[in-house]
Chains A and B, each alone.
Chain A
Amino acid sequence: MAKTLTADKAGTGFSIRRETLVKWAPLLVLIVLCAFFAVMEPRFLSTRNFARILIAASPALMVAIGVTFVIIMGSIDLSMEGTVSVCAVAFAFCFLWLGGTLASWAWLALPFAMLVGAVLGFVNGLIHVKLRIPSFMASLAMGFVGTGLAMVMTGGDRIRIEDALFRSLLTERILGFPLMVYVAGVFLLVAWFIQTRTTLGRNFYAVGGGEDLAIASGLNVNRVRVLGFTVAGVFFAVGALLAVGRIGIAETATGNNFMFLSITAVVVGGTALWGGVGGVWNTLVGVLIVFVIGNGMVVIGLPGYVQDGVLGILVILAVILSTDRKSISFVK
């Protein structure tokens, strides 16, 4: 309300301020949250606790980055749970079959899992584009196919990955943070590179910002879409690898909860669901918000079921804050 009042008085000056606000609102929320939890429980601010938050957040960050690209295109990808499960299980089988330690040829299981993710994403994109099925439905269905496939592959069993070298993702620390956090950081930079320094990355924005314009400019939108889903699949696979690295188990349930987590994180981070706005840094902030809440709630001793409620409210707040709803002609 206060903002509207200022807008009336300040006129054009407000538009700049609003943009700035929209841009920085998610980060502001994150800082406020951290400050709040720190006041309630000083131990929240320790390095060890931040390491714990980042360990938990790393796999979800990869998945959320994957879906960010798709959402920037104005589509949505809900196949992450199935894709993560299949990639985790495929990695585990391949890894054990090739020797079961990173010191052997089994390291090939890492690129193999990413290939599996790429293939799943590619198929997902093809189904969406060629069969002209809304991405929402196509990817959701593909997700179910993935979960089923992982189930068939494992027969419901869990596969343990005990290789000390692979598990050093979790157990080895540099400056207090485990290796997996740095791996996630590297892939975050890769995603940022794709977003800002490649034609593909710019095309995502072109498709999401105005598909008609993109087509009129001679852009092969279908190709961009399929590639977008493929890139998303690769990031889902990286998320799967980090998830396996974190708990040492690959199973059908490895993908559980990633859909809710990643979509929430992307939206809370300020990437608009109708495309063209946002990016990987927004997603990083969004993921951190989600996991800071998850960690902070337990650390200050609030019951778990409050967490989901708080996250739901945050999603609504984030959308209100981060988008100029007057510019949207209709809400579907």
Chain B
Amino acid sequence: MVNLFHIRASVVLALAALGISSCQSNTATLPIYGQREPVEKIVDGKTITDTLYHTIPAFKFLNQDSIYITDKNYDNKVYIANFFFTHCPSICPTMNRNLLKVYEQYKDSDQVYFLSHSIDFKYDQPHVLKEYAHKLGVSNDHWNFVTGSKADIYGIANQYLVYTAEDKNAPGGYDHQGYLVLIDKQKRIRGAYDGTNDEQVAKLQKELAILLQEK
């Protein structure tokens, strides 16, 4: 495990170094997060080693219009994902207030989409999510607010590397992290930003622009 961590740390460092050096030539790239493993492939008769990156797996959730949203909706699209619940009294208002800023910047563009998962699988039915989206100021279908079974939602949270849990001692009954997770066109995690921190949100806006430059 330690070894694996070392390998990952050095890969991250190498990528960071790459980022710094490439910064000078104005072609910065974002790191790729999560577990990775080498795979051997045969290309043109030669065996080469490629890297298999962690990707967001297939999913299917009901959105605020009671339409099923799947991973297919995000094929070849950059999107930002987060986890919240509508009557969350703690970090969610600030997190979604900040995500709304990014949404307003990109809502008319086909380049960036938004996906908020409710972790309150009991209360946040589609009509509740619909009202929330409307009151927040979301005016088109580029930002989905989705609900699903507890296993599916909490399971996908793990895939986004975001901690979520039902906890009766937490404000509102659920405990979770306020990360805004940046996903690229190949469904790889390219950044995670604390949605309650203004500097982190500014960093997200900057790095999102970098990601959009990628082919």
Whether A and B are associated in the same complex: the answer reads: no
Interface residues of B (CB under 8 A from A): none
Interface residues of A (CB under 8 A from B): none
